[in-house]
Each structure stands twice: as C-alpha cells, then as structure tokens.
Amino acid sequence: MGALAAVTRLRIAKLSELPPDTNRVFKLGGTSVLLCRTEAGVFAVENRCTHQLASLEGGRMRGRHLFCPKHGARFDMGTGATAGTLAKTPIKTYRVHIDADDNITIDWPQSSSPHSDGVTDMTQVQTSKQIVTRFLELFSSGAVDETMAMMTDDATWWVAGTMPISGTYDKAAFAKLLSGVLDTCTGPIRITPRTFIAEGDRVALEAESFTQTRNGRNYNNLYHFVFVVRDGKIAIVKEYLDTMHANAILCSA
C-alpha cells in the first residue's frame, strides 16, 4: 500500500461567501481552485479542465457533477472522475471540511514524495507562501472577521516602533486595532506583496500598502513582514514599516 501524502488544512472562505448552486475561484499561490456548492455538498477541484485546459469557473452543476463551460465535459467533483468520452483524465480534487463556524477548509497536499526531505521542504515552503498570500488577500478585502479566522487563536501581531499603535497585540486586540484603523479610512488597506523569502513555516515578505483616510490623505507604506504559519493559519506576524508615515497618517486621522 502506498504512503499517504501529507496535507495541511487551508482555510478558503466562509460558507456564506459561496451561495447555493454557485462556484467561485480562489487563487492559492500558483494554483487556481474552484469551490463549488450544490445540494450534494461543497466540493473543491483544480480549476482546469483536462480536455483542453479551460477554466471550469461558471460551469453548470448537477448534484456531484460539474460541466466544463467550454465543450461540456462532465466531472465528478468528489472523485474527479470523468463521465462521457470527451475528457479522459480526471480533474484534481481536494477534500473539503466545514467547521462549526462555517469556515470552509481544504486538505492541501504538502508532499507527493514523503521519502524525499528536499521535496517535502520545498512543498512546505510553497504551502507557507500560499497561506500568507491568501491571508493578505483577505486582509486587503477589508473583511476583518474573515481575516481573523485565518489566524490561530493564540496568534500575536507585533508592530514596530514607538507610535501609539506600536507594540504586541493578541488576536482580539489586533482585530480591534484593525477595525479602528479601517473606520478612519475610505476603503480597505490593500497590501501588495513584492518579494517573498520562505523557509519551512516562516515567510519574510516585502510589501506595499495603499488606502485613503476619510480626511483625504493617502496612506502608502512600505513593509517588511515576518509571518510564522501553523496548521494552515497565521500564528505570528512581525510588522516593520515606515513608522513616521504611519504615525503621521493613521495616528492623526
């Protein structure tokens, strides 16, 4: 019997973000995953038809089956198996879990070669980067609850410097800080990742942010973040930034 590939749970969305009888694409690093909800359940598949590699987004669904919008190939979303003769190769599927708080997570493969440490390490690095990327997408949407749901219960967030908002926050305190800052802005604080360096569960990242405050000023900062990832979530964040700019724009908004 072959060894099972290691997986990590990756939070994708809230159930409320996926209305019944819809499907929606989520980018996980370099992979496009299609989350599908029908009366038969919630399914996750790689968003790539094996017939001619078209996107499956928007494909008609019936029960467990998804139809490719391009030529109509049919796939079982639970097993990936094809039905009919058009496509011969199954699509990739991911096991879906929905917790008591309606968070949708998927089993994300960490390694296809458990006997090769090099492969395992590289895959873990990719997974860590994907988790941070997804976290920043949620952060940049301004959805505070969804962002916080992707942090571990004992997560901490440290902000550099001696500003009024500098210091170490636990999860609840950071959620309050973020909500307070967003209240002074006209929209979300969009964070654009620039360069990643990752090793195991640690990701170092240069990034740039942009938003506007309600008093008409641009907040456009540069950062060096350090993230520590655990169990598919963010456990530790260290945020180094231009504190003079942050203090001038955010602490006087």
**Under rule CB under 6 A, how many of the chain's residues touch ligand FES?**
11
| DSSP assigned state of 208 | E
The burial class, CB within 10 Å (0-12 / 13-18 / 19+), for 234 is: buried
Closest approach of ligand FES to the CB of residue 84, in Å: 9
Closer by beta carbon to ligand FES, 69 or else 167? 69
Q: Is 51 in the site for ligand FES (CB under 6 A)?
A: yes
End-to-end CA distance of the chain: 62
Closer by beta carbon to ligand FES, 72 or else 142? 72
**Own/partner long-range contacts of 195-198 (Cβ < 8 Å, ≥24 apart):** 196/129, 196/132, 198/125, 198/128, 198/129
Q: Is 48 in the site for ligand FES (CB under 6 A)?
A: no
Closer by beta carbon to ligand FES, 48 or else 129? 48
Closest approach of ligand FES to the CB of residue 51, in Å: 3
Kindly write down the DSSP assignment for every residue of 128-157, as one continuous string. Answer: HHHHHHHHHHHHHHT-HHHHHHTEEEEEEE
Closer by beta carbon to ligand FES, 70 or else 202? 70
| Per-residue mark of binding to ligand FES, 64-93 (x: CB under 6 A) | ----x-xxxx------------xx------
Closest approach of ligand FES to the CB of residue 90, in Å: 13
Closest approach of ligand FES to the CB of residue 112, in Å: 25
Closer by beta carbon to ligand FES, 68 or else 185? 68
The burial class, CB within 10 Å (0-12 / 13-18 / 19+), for 226 is: middle
Closest approach of ligand FES to the CB of residue 55, in Å: 9
Closest approach of ligand FES to the CB of residue 77, in Å: 14
Give the separation between CA 14 and CA 102, rounded to whole angstroms.
Answer: 6
Strands 31-38 and 41-46: antiparallel
Closer by beta carbon to ligand FES, 72 or else 114? 72
Closer by beta carbon to ligand FES, 33 or else 136? 33
Closest approach of ligand FES to the CB of residue 183, in Å: 46
Binding site for ligand FES (CB under 6 A): 49, 51-52, 54, 68, 70-73, 86-87
